[in-house]
Structure 1
């Protein structure tokens, strides 16, 4: 909403998984497309402002990921940290890389 978009209620998705297709940019670099992600809310992004680029969608067409055209700002509408989301650790590692933080190996 900060850049002029809208967040509205969608269908009930609590605890459901969806296939997420993406363009391989930002948080999704190096990930297969599609992959399965867990959704724990029923909010969807609409009216995407020109400053943001949609880079991931669910099979129902809902926006599931976006990035700012110039700033290091990225967002997702699912839970990469969920055990039921595929490649969540890779997405979090991509986030750390974008933020300039070195990821430590998992024990």
Structure 2
């Protein structure tokens, strides 16, 4: 939220970074998504996934168990998802969050592509637009497949 919304137009790809806080407290985050969804590829991490979910009509919930600096097992639920090309069905990923997207009222136009062992949503992909996001942190050393996952997104949006 350090730049005007119009300045985002000069970038080819939008990367939504992690928190802190919740999407409604994150400056122009949701406005960026609603303004540029459909015209620019978007990749979200943590707070980014939550914001994408809300912009498309879904909800987030405050978790009873907080995840900060812990690696847990993720399970790919859609092997055709662009993020998970050449990635095992199960992998460890770093988590730093106390909020998560909820299945209740989840947007129909978004596909859930990974979940954790408790069934919480951990990755999503829009069914028609070049929008993907993860709840976990691919940039963390605790995420086994982070580099490949980011490479997959970048390769999917190359012109």
TM-score by length of 1: 0.89
Would you say how many aligned residue pairs link Structure 1 and Structure 2?
A: 101
Instruction: State the match for 1:88 in structure 2.
Output: 146
Instruction: State the match for 1:7 in structure 2.
Output: 60
Q: Within 5 A, what are the aligned runs for 1:6-85?
A: 6-10=59-63, 11-22=65-76, 23-24=78-79, 25-46=81-102, 47-85=105-143
Q: Distance in 2 between matches of 1:26 and 1:44?
A: 21
Instruction: State the match for 1:105 in structure 2.
Output: none
Does the residue aligned with 1:90 lie in a helix, a strand or coil? helix
Q: Distance in 1 between matches of 2:73 and 2:132?
A: 19
**How well do the aligned residues superpose, as a CA RMSD in angstroms?**
1.1
Structure 2: unaligned runs, 5 residues or longer = 1-53
Stretches (4+) displaced over 3 A:
none
Structure 1: unaligned runs, 5 residues or longer = 102-107
1:29-62 CA-to-partner distances (Å, cap 9, x unmatched) read 1100100001011111013110100010000100
Does the residue aligned with 1:82 lie in a helix, a strand or coil? coil
Shift of 1:18: 1.2
Tell me which structure has the larger Cα radius of gyration: 2
TM-score by length of 2: 0.61
Q: Distance in 1 between matches of 2:117 and 2:66?
A: 15
